[in-house]
Amino acid sequence: MKLRDTKQLLNDLNLAPNKNLGQNFLINEEIAESITSLVKNQDYVIEIGPGLGALTKKLAQNNKKVLAIEIDRGFAEYLKKEAEKVNNITILHSDFLKYPLNKIKENINIVSNLPYNITTPIIEKVLLESNKLDKFVFMTQKDFIDRLLSKPGSKEYGPISVLISSLGNLEIFKVINKENFYPQPKISSCVSVFVCKKTVSQNDRKAFYEFVKLLFKERRKTILNNLSAITKDKKEAERKLSIVKILPSRRPETLNIDEIQLLFDIMLNKTRKK
């Protein structure tokens, strides 16, 4: 939908964009087309926050079944009526953060122009709550994606970047200028594609992420200090670090993903599977 049509529709529905729900609607058909072309011929696609449906119908044309979860009652009601015209879209008026993703038995592909105010909890949920995830295509503000893709040693590198790279491969697909949204956000956005490696169980993912968050809790302290807080025993922390040959004086953000994984395995008394 173009800008004029979007404004007209909002007017007809007597609705206005709600900043608190991160409502910035995509107003460029070609971009909507290129995003949805990234997920095709799938059995089950979930869309988070369909809004006025910029991506929803296109997703339904290319896939078997679409479940779109929208927190805003006004948009959900409008979309429910629209969905009656086709037979493969289900609209759920709900908070995605409360949706039981682990109940879905099919492989899942998720697509979303994410509400920017809850980007981190949504990404955490998608990555941690289901081991059925195949692909996650999402639009976020540009600076956020830089954080997700950050490398060891950089200021942005932290638990969520570690989690992402431990579970799969993330790539930027396209940068989208802010003029393509209504209302216009302050900065440009980015469409990214995350493809999941399916090797890690759901429980292991959660335990790993909790461990990484503790490891990064005091970024200015050494890895020995942070690990001692976890083991509650400095000698034990020193012993574990010497087994994996990590210098105790290093800072957590200098550890690469393999080193963190190794440390986690040692904490669980596991030998590393390759």
For residue 70, the 8-state DSSP code is: E
Both tokens of 127, joined, read 């990555």
Cβ of residue 258: shortest distance to ligand SAM, in angstroms? 34
Give the interface with ligand SAM as residue ranges (CB under 6 A). 21-26, 48-52, 54-55, 69-72, 75, 95-97, 113, 115, 118
Radius of gyration of the chain (CA): 21
Question: Rounded to the nearest whole angstrom, what is the least distance from the CB of residue 114 to ligand SAM in the complex?
Answer: 6
Cβ nearer to ligand SAM, comparing 79 with 162: 79
CA 60 to chain centre: 21
Residue of this chain nearest to ligand SAM (CB atom): 49
Task: Please name every residue paired with 26 in a beta bridge, in sequence order, or none if there are none.
Answer: 181
Shortest spacing between CB 178 and ligand SAM, in angstroms: 12
Find the shortest distance in angstroms from Cβ 90 to ligand SAM. Answer: 14
**Smallest separation (angstroms) from ligand SAM to the CB of 126:** 12
Q: How far is the CB of 112 from ligand SAM (least distance, A)?
A: 7
- Provide the 3-class DSSP secondary structure of residue 45: strand
Nearer to ligand SAM, 118 or 212 (CB): 118
**Helix, strand or coil for residue 184?**
coil
Measured from the CB atom, the residue of 48 and 67 that comes closer to ligand SAM is 48
User: d(Cα 73, Cα 176) in Å, to the nearest integer?
Assistant: 28
Least Å from the CB of residue 20 to ligand SAM: 9
Cβ neighbour number for residue 65 with a 10 Å cutoff:
16
What token pair was written down for 7?
Answer: 């404004």
List Cα–Cα distances, 40 to 65, 135, 198, in angstroms.
11, 11, 20
**Residue whose CB is less far from ligand SAM, 88 or 225:** 88
Comparison of 86 and 243: residue with beta carbon closer to ligand SAM? 86
Which pairing describes strands 89-93 and 168-176: parallel, antiparallel, or unpaired?
unpaired
Residues composing the chain: 274
Residue nearer to ligand SAM on the CB measure, 9 or 200: 9
What is the spatial distance between Cα 189 and Cα 55, in angstroms, rounded to a whole number?
Answer: 16
Nearer to ligand SAM, 75 or 194 (CB): 75
